[in-house]
Structure 1
Amino acid sequence: MTTSPMPVPQAPGRLVTVAVLLVASMTIMANATISPSLPGLKAHFADAEGIETLSALILTLPSLSVILTAGLFGYLADRMDRRLLLALATGIYAIGGGSGLVAETLPQLLMGRLLLGVGVAGSMTLAMAFAADLWQGEARARFMGLQGASMSGGGVVVMLLGGALAALHWRGAFAVYLLALPIAALALTALWPYARRAAPAAAAPGDRAPEGFPWPTFAFVGGLSFLFMATFYVMPTRVPFRLAEIGVTNSLIVGLVMAGVMVTAVPGALMYGKIRRYLSEMSIFAASFSLMAVGLFTVSQAGSVWGVALGGLIAGAGMGPAMPNYSTYLMAKVPPAARGRAAGLLTTSFFAGQFASPLVSAPLVASFGLRGAFLALSAALLAIGAALALRAFHEASGRRRAWADV
C-alpha cells in the first residue's frame, strides 16, 4: 500500500530538528573527510597502476553508489516505514565507512567506499524528505538554510578531526565514519512518530507543486546541481596536491585549509531565509557559480598556503546559500506524495557531480597542470554564472512588466 507524508500541525520540537540536522550532516562526511589522507594513501598504494587518478576516485567513489541507489531510497521513502530505511542506511554507512580502518588491499578499500555510498544515499534522501514534510513554506526555506549550515559546520568538524587523525596515520580519518552510530540512535528515537505515514500532506501556500512530477524543473535543477558539485569537488580532490605543489604536505594543515571552505559556507546557509527575501532563487544560483569561479581562480594563482586558503574561503561562500537553494527550489514545485522521489533524484544529481569531478579534472590536469586546470574550470563557472544572471534579469523584468500591467 502506498504511503505518503502526513500533515504536521506545528513545527517539530528541538530534538526532532537536531536529529534531522545530524542525519543530513552525515552526508558531508562521505567524501571529503578522508581528503587529508590522500597523500598518505597514495604513498601506501604507490605500486598500484594509475594511483594518481585512483586516489581521487577513492574520495568520490561513494558517489557512484549514491547514483545507483538514491532513486530507490527515494521511491521507498514514499511507500514504506522510514524507521527501517533509516536503520538500514545508517548501519551500512558505519560499516562501509569504518572498513577503511582494516582494509588491507586497494580492492577492499574500494568495496568499503562503495558500501559507504549506499548508506549515504539513504541518509541524505531521508533527511531531505523529512525536511520537506515537517517544515512548510517560509519555515522550510529557513530550515533548509539551517540544514545547509549544519552540513557545513559538520564539515568543519570532520575535516579538522580527519586531518588530525590522518596526521597520526593515513587510516585514522576513516574512524570519523563511526560517528554515524550515535547519530542513528538519536534519529531513530526522535523521528519515531514521523517515520510511518498514511495520509498525504497538503502543499504549503508558498509551494507551486503541480499534480504530476515536474520533470522539466528537475532537469534544470538537477543539471545545475551536477555542474556545481562536479566543479566544487575539485577542492577536496585536487587542493591537497595543489598544496603539495607549493611545498605544503602536513595533513593537519591540509585539513585546516579544507575546513576553511566549510567555515565560510555556514553564514550564507544560515542566512538563506533572509537572503531569499531580497534575491530570487535564480539570482542565488548565479551568485554561487560566480563566487565559485573567483575561488578557483584564486587557487590557480596562489603561490602560498594563504592564497589557496583564500580561494577555498571564497568558494565556500558560494556554496553556503546554494545548497539549500536547490532543495527549496525543487520541493516547492513537487507534489507532497512525490517528495521522497524528488529527494532521491536530487541526491543522485549532487553525487553524480561529485563522482564525475575527478574524471572532469583529470584530463585538464594532464593537459594544463593543476594551476591550468583550476583556471579553466573558473572560466567555465564564470560563463555559467553569467548565463544564470541573465536569466534572473529576464525573470525579474517579466515580473515587473506583470505588475505594471496590473
Structure 2
Amino acid sequence: MNTRKLSKARMILILLALFLSTSCTMGDMVIVPIAGNLYDVFPQVGLVNAIISAPALIGVPFCLLGGYLSDKMNKKILMVIGFALYTVTSVFGCAFENVYFILVCRLIATGVAWGLTSSAALGIIAELYEDEGKRGTVNGWYNAVMAALGSVLSLVAGYLAVSAWQNAFRAYWINIPILILLVVFLPSMPAEKKEASAAEEVKKGRTTQAGWMKGLIPILIQVLLVASSYYVITYMISVYVIDTGIGNEAFSGTLSSAGTICSFLANLAFGLIYSKLKKATAIPSFIAIGAGFLLMAFFPSRAVALVVCALMGGFWGIFYSFFFTECSVVVPEEKQGTAIGITSAVNGIAMFLCTYLVTGLKSVMKAESVTAVFPVFGIVVLGVCVYVVLLLMRGKKREAA
C-alpha cells in the first residue's frame, strides 16, 4: 500500500486504532480477577475451566482462517467484522447469568474474534510498512500497548468486581469507541496480486512461492518450544510461589506485573534492537529465559524470582515482537497474512499446551512441585538457542559460498 497518500495525522490515528484493538488479544485479562467467583457461582467445574482456557484453543483455527482471508479480501473489512464480534460478545458477555451463555460468548470473543483480528491487524501493519526495520519498530509499539492495555483491563475489572463479579464485564465497554475508531480511520485495504519474480524474492531475503514455507518452519519451531515454556511462568507463577513458600497471592501478582512492565519497556525499544541484531535478535531472549528457569529451580527466593520474572518478561516481549515481524519477512509478500495467521495459531497452541506439559512432566518425573520440572523447560529453551545459532552459522556459510 502506498502510505505516502496518507497524512501523518491519519497514520497516527490508524496506529492508535490498531494498537487499541489489542484489547481483543488481552480480553482474557478481564476474566482473571473473577475466575474464583466463577467457580463459586457455577458448580459445573469443567465448563468454568472451559470459560477460562478454551478460547485459546478455539482461536487457533480462526488464526489460520484470518491469515488466509487477509491475503484474499479487504483487510479493513476483516478487521472490523472480527472486532465487532468481539465487542458484541464481550460487552454482553454476562447479560445472562448462565454458564453456557457466558461460555459461548467467551469462545466467540477471545477465541473466534481474537483469531480474526490478530491476523488482520498484523497483516495491516505489514502492508503499511514494507520496510522490515520500520515494521519491526511498529510491531514493538503494538505489543507494548498490548501489554499495558492488558494490565489496565485487569486492574479495572478487578476494581469493578469488588461490588459484584458481573461488573467486571463493564471493562469491555472500552471496545465500543475502539470499534468506531477502526471503522472511521482504517483505510480500505483490498487484496492485491503481487507478481514478484523468484530472483526478487530471494534478493529481499524471502523464500519463493514454490517453497514459501521453508523460511517459516524454523520460526514456528522456535515459537512452539519457547512459548509453551514461557507461558508456564505466565499462567503458573502463583503455583511456583506457593510450592517454594516464597510469598502469597500478592507476591504472585507483583511477579506478574514485573514481567508485564518489563515486556512493555522492551517492546518500546524493539525497533532499535531489531535493527542492530536482525535475525539474531531472539538469541539473548533464549539465553535469558532458559537461564531464568534454571535459576528459579535451583535458587528459589523472593529476590531471584522478582529479578528473573522481570528479565524473562522483558526478553519474552522482544522475542514476541521478533517472531511476528520475522514471519512476515521470510515469506513472499502475498503470503504475509497467511504466515502471520499460522504463527498466531502456533502461539495459541503453545498457550493451551503449557499447563498440560507441566502436569505431564510432573507425572513422568514423579515430581510433587512445579519447581522440579522447571529445569526441563530451561534446557529446552537453551536447546532452541543452540539450534538458532547453528541455523545462522549455516546461513552465513551459504552466503560466503
- Normalising by structure 2, we get a TM-score of 0.83
Of 85, 95, 100 in structure 2, the residue corresponding to residue 107 of structure 1 is 100
Deviation per CA, 1:231-273: give whole Å up to 9, x if none: 22223432344456656346xx755542322110122222222
1-structure distance, mates of 2:238, 2:37: 11
Deviation per CA, 1:65-84: give whole Å up to 9, x if none: 21121222222222223333
> How much does 1:176 deviate?
2.8
| Residue pair 1:103, 1:109 contacting (<8 A) in 2 also | yes
> How much does 1:134 deviate?
0.4
Of 112, 118, 142 in structure 2, the residue corresponding to residue 118 of structure 1 is 112
> Who is 2:357 aligned against?
360
> Who is 1:58 aligned against?
51
Q: CA RMSD in A?
A: 3.3
| Residue pair 2:3, 2:128 contacting (<8 A) in 1 also | yes
| Residue pair 1:293, 1:379 contacting (<8 A) in 2 also | no
SS at match of 2:214: helix
> Who is 2:172 aligned against?
177
> Who is 2:153 aligned against?
158
> Who is 1:328 aligned against?
325
| Change in 2 beyond 3 A, CA 1:171/1:319 | farther
> How much does 1:147 deviate?
1.8
Deviation per CA, 1:261-296: give whole Å up to 9, x if none: 211012222222222244342x33333233223444
> How much does 1:121 deviate?
0.9
2-structure distance, mates of 1:402, 1:362: 44
Of 63, 81, 93 in structure 2, the residue corresponding to residue 88 of structure 1 is 81
> Who is 2:20 aligned against?
22
Of 338, 343, 347 in structure 1, the residue corresponding to residue 340 of structure 2 is 343
- Normalising by structure 1, we get a TM-score of 0.82
> How much does 1:206 deviate?
4.7
| Residue pair 1:226, 1:351 contacting (<8 A) in 2 also | no
Q: How does 1:215-364 map to 2 (within 5 A)?
A: 215-243=213-241, 246=245, 248-249=248-249, 255-281=253-279, 283-297=280-294, 302=300, 304=302, 308-364=305-361
| Change in 2 beyond 3 A, CA 1:111/1:130 | same
2-structure distance, mates of 1:206, 1:22: 31
Deviation per CA, 1:175-228: give whole Å up to 9, x if none: 33332222121122111x333354538789755252346223322222322233
Q: How does 1:127-146 map to 2 (within 5 A)?
A: 127-137=121-131, 138-146=133-141
Q: Mean alpha-carbon deviation: is it higher for 265-274 or for 170-179?
A: 170-179
2-structure distance, mates of 1:320, 1:28: 15
> How much does 1:392 deviate?
1.6
SS at match of 2:90: helix
> How much does 1:114 deviate?
1.0
SS at match of 1:78: helix
Amino acid at match of 2:156: L
2-structure distance, mates of 1:292, 1:371: 23
> How much does 1:307 deviate?
5.5
> How much does 1:322 deviate?
0.6
> How much does 1:163 deviate?
3.7
SS at match of 1:279: helix
SS at match of 2:340: helix
| Change in 2 beyond 3 A, CA 1:80/1:395 | closer
SS at match of 1:194: coil
> Who is 1:48 aligned against?
44
| Residue pair 1:288, 1:385 contacting (<8 A) in 2 also | no
SS at match of 1:217: coil
> How much does 1:298 deviate?
5.3
| Residue pair 2:18, 2:121 contacting (<8 A) in 1 also | yes
> How much does 1:364 deviate?
4.2
Gaps of 5+ in 2: none
> Who is 2:69 aligned against?
76
Amino acid at match of 2:117: S
Amino acid at match of 2:333: P
Gaps of 5+ in 1: 1-5
| Change in 2 beyond 3 A, CA 1:260/1:219 | same
Deviation per CA, 1:101-143: give whole Å up to 9, x if none: 3453433332222111111111101111001100022211222
Aligned pairs, how many?
Answer: 389
SS at match of 1:159: helix
